[in-house]
Amino acid sequence: MEAFETYQTPLSSRYASKEMANLFSPAKRFFTWRTLWLNLAIAEKQLGLPISDEAIEEMKGNLNLTPEQFDIAAVEEKKRRHDVMAHVHTFGQVAPAAAGIIHLGATSCYVTDNADLIFLREGLGYLIRSLGILISRLSAFAAQYRDLPTLGFTHFQPAQLTTVGKRATLWIQELLWDLRNLKRVRDDIGFRGVKGTTGTQASFLALFDGDHDKVEELDALVTKLSGFEYAYPVTSQTYSRKIDADVLAPLASLGATAHKIGTDIRLLANLKEIEEPFESTQIGSSAMAYKRNPMRSERVCSLARHLMVLHQNALMTSSVQWFERTLDDSANRRITLPEAFLTADIVLSTLQNISEGLVVYPKVIARRIAQELPFMATENVIMAIVKKGGDRQEAHEKIRVLSQEAGHQVKHLGLENDLISRIRADPYFDPIKDDLEALLDPTSFIGRAPQQVDAFLEKWVMPALEDPEVRDAIGRSGKVELSV
């Protein structure tokens, strides 16, 4: 870097998983830098540069920094106001045989940018595995409640019935798309490779006396040693910051999914139909002792909004990279990239916690259905009358009048919906009174919701969870897997 910018562990890492917090820790960053310097030296030696075996071995033996080395690097960075050169110096002190060849031919972005690409790829792997676990938890929930009728809502107004499990599949489908998007962007990430100061590889061409083939081979060899399938064919001093925008896009999209799920659960908590976990000693409000606030879902929504806006930051940074580079990306990215991954990690872990303890209240759900179902059943009642020889228009008018009367009881007097009692009391409906109970059975109003849940889990969810990486993560999470 061309400026003094000490790496700090982001505050949010305190609440992230151990793996994700470690990924963006100074220890991991500088270990990765040293590994990249080692890979460069191995490749340069293999291609004929005079680098000793002793230098390689000393580098291999000192990839992890001790506390004393962190102190040395901090002093050097304060003096030199250049983090990469401070760590070149520090590495050289513990690997003296390599001191003269560490960072040979490279620019600072050889370690900083290549390390960032490594972190992006590894971070996506953590999120993919966490997302797979979350999908498995919600899928088990959907299967359990596949046929439990519940009132549907459009515009947050009572609508046709669905099931608790079917509603959960709407969440899961979006999470499956997020899983697909995360995998796509991870698989697409390349390596900056060995490109030199402005991306022309001029310094490496000089090292190899104008041998273009060796420079190309060096780029390919370091890329392979660093675990990547390919390097970006052209770069400037940095890899294109469009890559950051591309990576943060599916994270932002995941944030939108998480916010929708968290909001739905918060609304259901208000209706007392479904609640997130609530410990026996948990306090919902300092003043109102009875409250059971959906604080986990609120936290998800809060963090998800932060996650969504970080993508805009990456877009703006990408748009203002002048020519071969400018440094106004650096401080920004050191905040934005770790924060995006740490935030996504916390969002997923919180959603997993919620999904593992969702509480469903069937009696409350049934009571709300009973309040609304009589109105929804009017079409069924009309059809039943017609089948018994009645006139459709006459039946419609009878139902319309009784519905208005029942609606008055509910809206103006605050009483229960008594439409069915009014139907039973009207002689006109005598031919179908014995059928009313069947006509009002909630299960007759949920259509193919249970079958849709079954088919969705079998044809879409199970194949996604059979991915070896995801399956292994679910297995190690210690929970029973979904079976259809």
Q: What is the spatial distance between Cα 391 and Cα 398, in angstroms, rounded to a whole number? A: 11
Q: Pick left, alpha or beta for residue 360 (phi over 0 → left; psi -120 to 50 → alpha; otherwise beta).
A: beta
- The conformation of residue 430, written as its DSSP 8-state character, comes to G
User: Does residue 82 carry a catalytic annotation?
Assistant: no
Given the residues 52, 285, 302, 444, the one annotated as active site: 285
User: Does residue 285 carry a catalytic annotation?
Assistant: yes
Closest by CA to 218, choosing from 194, 238, 197, 240, is 194
> How many CA within 13 A on the CB side of residue 285?
8
Pair of tokens at residue 72? 């040395």
- The conformation of residue 444, written as its DSSP 8-state character, comes to G
Given the residues 12, 17, 89, 155, the one annotated as active site: 155
Closest by CA to 249, choosing from 173, 318, 165, is 318
Task: Please tell me whether residue 191 adopts helix, strand or coil conformation.
Answer: strand
Name, in order, each residue with C-beta under 8 angstroms of 293's C-beta and a sequence gap of 6 or more: 284, 285
What stretch of H or E contains 32? helix 26-46
Concatenated DSSP letters of 204-261: HHHHTTT-HHHHHHHHHHHHHHTT-S-B-S--SSS--THHHHHHHHHHHHHHHHHHHH
Amino acid at the residue 358: L
Question: What amino acid positions are annotated as catalytic residues?
Answer: 155, 285
